Amino acid sequence: MDKKKLRNDLLLIVSLLVAAIIALIVILTRKTDKPLVARVYVSDAIVETIDLSDKTERDYTIKGKNGELVIHVHDGKIKVSKSNCPHQDCVNQGEVSDINHPIICAYNEVYIVINGDANYDVEI
């Protein structure tokens, strides 16, 4: 094997790994002090805004493009507990509690994202 090419490979792989790890660390350590809210999108429109600061354990039923799914909220964590999608990727995703970390159900065109910017419950 060409030693020069192998050296280039190594450089490439190492720099890519470093970049990916840094990006991963940045994403995982993003925090916000604001009370969290989860937004549920179906085909691009927000259908539900879920206040995560309220710790009541509760379910939401969402009508997606090709079926229904049930979102379970508890103690500031959100997950899809039931879905009619064939691959169950969204259910397997498990619990999410950090911001910008989406749960995606492509079959139903549903995705759920936690943002940190709903800072009021009601407006007067």
Question: Do 59 and 52 touch, CB atoms closer than 8 A?
Answer: no
27 lies in the site for another protein, by CB under 8 A: yes
Listed in sequence order, the residues at least 6 apart from 106 whose beta carbon sits closer than 8 Å to its beta carbon are 85, 89
What are the structure tokens assigned to 95, written together? 């619990």
The reply on whether position 113 binds another protein by CB under 8 A is yes
The correct pick among 16, 32, 46, 63 for binding another protein (CB under 8 A) is 16
Contacting residues toward another protein, per CB under 8 A: 1-2, 5-6, 8-9, 12-13, 16-17, 20-21, 23-24, 27, 35, 41, 44, 50-51, 53-61, 72, 87, 89-90, 92-93, 100-102, 104-107, 109, 111, 113, 119-124
